Chain A
Amino acid sequence: MELVLVNLIDGLVTGLLLFMLSAGLTLIFSMMGVLNFAHASFYMLGAYFAYQISLGLGFWMGLLLAPLIVGVMGAGVERYGLRRVHQYGHVPELIFTFGLALLIEELVQFIWGKNQMPYDIPEVLNFTAFAIAGNSIPAYKIFMIFISISIFIGLLYILTKTRVGMIIQAALSYPRTVESLGHNVPLIFMGVFGVGTALAGVAGVIAGPVLGTFPGMAFVLGSIVFVTIVIGGLGSLWGALVASLLIGWITTFAKSYNVRMEDILNGIGIVTPSDLEDNIFRDLWTLTSPQIADILPYILMVLILIFRPYGLFGKRDA
């Protein structure tokens, strides 16, 4: 029972981290219709910038400055890159962001090399917050939860309660009308892109010390972020939150409990074949959940695409 609680907390941390990435991506998509392949690369940049800043000014300045730099870079990419490509349609935009992802990865390797970076948890947070039945919960995890929840609340507040949020929401659905009312829609787009990438930057800053800061970190997270927004429904902030938490908990629980395929199949009435060693389905029978934990979200995505193509919270029918 205690382990369930521990897993809930671990899954929450993973899920919220995923949320910070997918929130920006889904906002950008709903606004501009651009699937930003380079989104996870901005996450990586956040981690590397924060590492570099933390060497001189400490972790906290890194947390403050790195997302800002990433956000400004993101806005620049929108202003001088995407906006120019936009007139040629969606495919060139996709190719542009894809190329950008490759470019950023090479650039990071060029500057920082290919090794792991010794980017570490700050001393102040390097202690055990509390323990549940011998499983210690590091204070840093609590800090991660705290940061991501405050970002979610902040975003929700800005989008639904403020004037800026109202204009953004209006520009989402009726950009021409908003424009003719005298608002600068391209500026709004640039701002949203900048904020979205800055969010990815924050995720990088706080995930770097726990998940490792290395050139492959964008690649590891890149595809799962897309899965999240597809499951949640493209363009939905709530959807992104629910899907992130769902994925966080599914993968955590699948890894923690050794559910064996044999038990499931027996449970639904299929008897284990006696010649298991030579059976052509041997690999299927001997599967365990930790082995496939990280593939489960993809299976979920396929199911969602079949039964509810617009996602859990998506509004429009894709």
Chain B
Amino acid sequence: MRNTTKLGVSTALALIIGATSAFAEDIKIAFIDPLSGPFAATGTNGLHQFQFAADKLVNEKGGVLDGQTFEVIGFDNKISPKESLIQLQVAIDQGIRYVVQGNSSGVANALTEAIDKHNRRNPESRVLFLNYAAVDPALTNDKCNFWHFRFDANADIKMDALTDVIAANEDIKKVYVIGQDYSFGKAVAAAAEANLAEKRSDIEIVGNELHPIGKVKDFTPYARKVVSSEADAVITGNWGADMLGLGKSIIENGFTGPIYTYYAAGSGITAAFGEGGKGTIRLISEGQINPPASDESTAYYEAFKAKYPDGNIDQSRIANTIGMLAQAIQEAGTATDVVAVATALEGMEYDSMWGSKIYMRPQDHQAIQNMHIAVHTDEGVTFDYDNSGFGVVTETTVEMAGMDSPTTCEMQRP
């Protein structure tokens, strides 16, 4: 008897709670990225940036529509495509309609395929995939679909902008390309070769090399080859410990020219390069950190540092992702009909506080924005990375990089 009463009471309670939550439902965003294991630092840092962006750009301004707020929930995928699909299913079962992911194009490829399939089979619970960092060009070319949006420039666009800068520098006659032995490293090497041949046929590629990913203990022999090839510049797509090891070794063994990189900032790398990398390490990315692009971005960064004193904003596109999603939901007038939201995102022009207009190209859902080549230094740094006094300062800007870049995407709209 008592048990029945208990059951009845708890059912009633559950119903009430269910009813209230349905009444003022938050818009939930699933963040599917590594939160444990060797890449946990990158994943956790990204999650913090997302949660901060949601609070600052949406919730503190009264939310979207009739006061609905954003909630970013972390799902740990251990950077495995298989685990990601499980987490995706968990997220969908919780009624989540928006998925963000960025680390590893392998994961992104698995997710975009699974989401496409899910959305075709389950029109009543469709989800959108907002990709903030996976840069494999295929995602907005052969493998593109209506549900995937990329807010970072893809590897080809970045290389296009990077080689524009190299081509404009008459002092560079020889270039050394080195990277990790997997799809992304190979894509970077191929793009560098093709772009340089087209823009400056007089530049000689004196080395084009791949090394095992995450296995190299000592980069000295590679660095020796770079130095003895008399290269004027180095291009690498390395990240993590491989980036730091390679960069440090090249500099220590006497290389003084520019080292053009994709990922040599934040997560302790800036602090570890320190004085040694000054004026040598260069970074291509979106979003200008130093000098600050606007008063808004200054205030935003300061507030972020107040909340996360040890954190960095090394992925300014995360704020753009949240900002653009909020604007799209507002325009569509709904957060549950993701087709309407996706249609609003297509072709959207968004003014980013990081000093760029962002255009979401409708043909392939690739965000087109200004790209910056920044240098690692301690001079003129307003916001440093890793509290090291060193940071990245913009040297050159390529306006709306890759605006007319070709795409093989044939977008299928529902």
Contact with B along A201-225 (1 / 0, CB 8 A): 0000000001110111000110010
**Is residue A267 within 8 Å, beta carbon to beta carbon, of the partner chain?**
no
The docked-state distance in angstroms from the alpha carbon of A220 to that of B44 is: 23
Instruction: Establish whether residues B221 and A114, one from each chain, have CB atoms under 8 Å apart when the complex forms.
Output: no
The docked-state distance in angstroms from the alpha carbon of A131 to that of B224 is: 12
**Among A168-176, A189-197, A289-297, the stretch in contact with B:** A289-297
Instruction: Establish whether residues B38 and A294, one from each chain, have CB atoms under 8 Å apart when the complex forms.
Output: no
**Is residue A256 within 8 Å, beta carbon to beta carbon, of the partner chain?**
yes
Contact with B along A110-137 (1 / 0, CB 8 A): 0001111111100000001001011110
The docked-state distance in angstroms from the alpha carbon of A293 to that of B209 is: 13
Task: For B228, list chain A residues within 8 Å (CB).
Answer: 3, 133-135
Task: For A215, list chain B residues within 8 Å (CB).
Answer: 38
Instruction: Establish whether residues A290 and B38, one from each chain, have CB atoms under 8 Å apart when the complex forms.
Output: no
Tell whether A115 pairs with B274 under 8 Å between CB atoms, given A14-B217, A294-B212. no
Task: For B44, list chain A residues within 8 Å (CB).
Answer: 114
Task: For A136, list chain B residues within 8 Å (CB).
Answer: 253-254
Instruction: Establish whether residues B225 and A216, one from each chain, have CB atoms under 8 Å apart when the complex forms.
Output: no
Task: For A118, list chain B residues within 8 Å (CB).
Answer: 268, 271-272, 274, 386, 388
Instruction: Establish whether residues B272 and A7, one from each chain, have CB atoms under 8 Å apart when the complex forms.
Output: no
Q: Considering only CB atoms, which chain B residue lies closest to A115 in the complex?
A: B268
Task: For A26, list chain B residues within 8 Å (CB).
Answer: none
- Of the residues B38, B224, B388, contact of A256 by C-beta under 8 Å: B224
Q: Report the count of interface residues on A (CB-CB < 8 A).
A: 42
Task: For A14, list chain B residues within 8 Å (CB).
Answer: 217-218, 220
The docked-state distance in angstroms from the alpha carbon of A212 to that of B219 is: 11
B389 to chain A, nearest CB (A): 11
Instruction: Establish whether residues B211 and A3, one from each chain, have CB atoms under 8 Å apart when the complex forms.
Output: no
Task: For B210, list chain A residues within 8 Å (CB).
Answer: 290-291
**Is residue A86 within 8 Å, beta carbon to beta carbon, of the partner chain?**
no
Contact with A along B303-320 (1 / 0, CB 8 A): 000000010000000000
- Of the residues B215, B224, B244, B388, contact of A212 by C-beta under 8 Å: B244
Task: For A109, list chain B residues within 8 Å (CB).
Answer: 40
Tell whether A135 pairs with B254 under 8 Å between CB atoms, given A290-B222, A291-B212. yes
Q: Considering only CB atoms, which chain A residue lies closest to B275 in the complex?
A: A120
- Of the residues B209, B216, B227, B241, contact of A294 by C-beta under 8 Å: B216
Instruction: Establish whether residues A135 and B218, one from each chain, have CB atoms under 8 Å apart when the complex forms.
Output: no
Tell whether A117 pairs with B272 under 8 Å between CB atoms, given A136-B253, A214-B241, A291-B211. yes
Instruction: Establish whether residues B38 and A116, one from each chain, have CB atoms under 8 Å apart when the complex forms.
Output: no
Q: Considering only CB atoms, which chain A residue lies closest to B245 in the complex?
A: A212
A223 to chain B, nearest CB (A): 10
**Is residue A255 within 8 Å, beta carbon to beta carbon, of the partner chain?**
yes
The docked-state distance in angstroms from the alpha carbon of A138 to that of B276 is: 13
The docked-state distance in angstroms from the alpha carbon of A93 to that of B100 is: 44
The docked-state distance in angstroms from the alpha carbon of A116 to that of B51 is: 24
Which of chain B's residues 237-291 have a Cβ closer than 8 Å to chain A?
A: 241, 244-245, 248-249, 252-254, 267-269, 271-272, 274
Task: For B224, list chain A residues within 8 Å (CB).
Answer: 3, 6-7, 10, 135, 256
- Of the residues A116, A120, A290, contact of B209 by C-beta under 8 Å: A290
Q: Considering only CB atoms, which chain B residue lies closest to A252 in the complex?
A: B221
Task: For B212, list chain A residues within 8 Å (CB).
Answer: 291-295
- Of the residues B38, B217, B269, contact of A211 by C-beta under 8 Å: B217
Instruction: Establish whether residues B220 and A212, one from each chain, have CB atoms under 8 Å apart when the complex forms.
Output: no
Instruction: Establish whether residues B269 and A116, one from each chain, have CB atoms under 8 Å apart when the complex forms.
Output: yes
A24 to chain B, nearest CB (A): 18
Contact with A along B191-214 (1 / 0, CB 8 A): 000000000000000000111101
Task: For A290, list chain B residues within 8 Å (CB).
Answer: 209-211, 221-222
**Is residue B7 within 8 Å, beta carbon to beta carbon, of the partner chain?**
no
Instruction: Establish whether residues B254 and A128, one from each chain, have CB atoms under 8 Å apart when the complex forms.
Output: yes
B218 to chain A, nearest CB (A): 5
The docked-state distance in angstroms from the alpha carbon of A44 to that of B271 is: 19
A142 to chain B, nearest CB (A): 13
Instruction: Establish whether residues B38 and A115, one from each chain, have CB atoms under 8 Å apart when the complex forms.
Output: no
Instruction: Establish whether residues A256 and B225, one from each chain, have CB atoms under 8 Å apart when the complex forms.
Output: yes
Contact with B along A238-269 (1 / 0, CB 8 A): 00000000000001110110000000000000
Which of chain A's residues 1-39 have a Cβ closer than 8 Å to chain B?
A: 3, 6-7, 10, 13-14
A38 to chain B, nearest CB (A): 18
Instruction: Establish whether residues B220 and A10, one from each chain, have CB atoms under 8 Å apart when the complex forms.
Output: yes
The docked-state distance in angstroms from the alpha carbon of A113 to that of B308 is: 14
**17 CB < 8 A contacts A-B:** A10-B218, A14-B217, A14-B218, A14-B220, A115-B268, A118-B272, A134-B227, A136-B253, A210-B218, A212-B241, A220-B217, A221-B217, A251-B221, A255-B221, A255-B225, A290-B221, A290-B222
Residues of chain B touching chain A, judged by Cβ–Cβ distance below 8 Å, are 38, 40-41, 44, 181, 209-212, 214-218, 220-222, 224-225, 227-228, 241, 244-245, 248-249, 252-254, 267-269, 271-272, 274, 310, 386, 388
Apart from A13-B220, A211-B217, A294-B217, 5 more pairs, CB < 8 Å: A10-B218, A135-B254, A255-B221, A255-B225, A294-B216
Residues of chain A touching chain B, judged by Cβ–Cβ distance below 8 Å, are 3, 6-7, 10, 13-14, 109, 113-120, 128, 131, 133-136, 138, 210-212, 214-216, 220-221, 224, 251-253, 255-256, 290-295
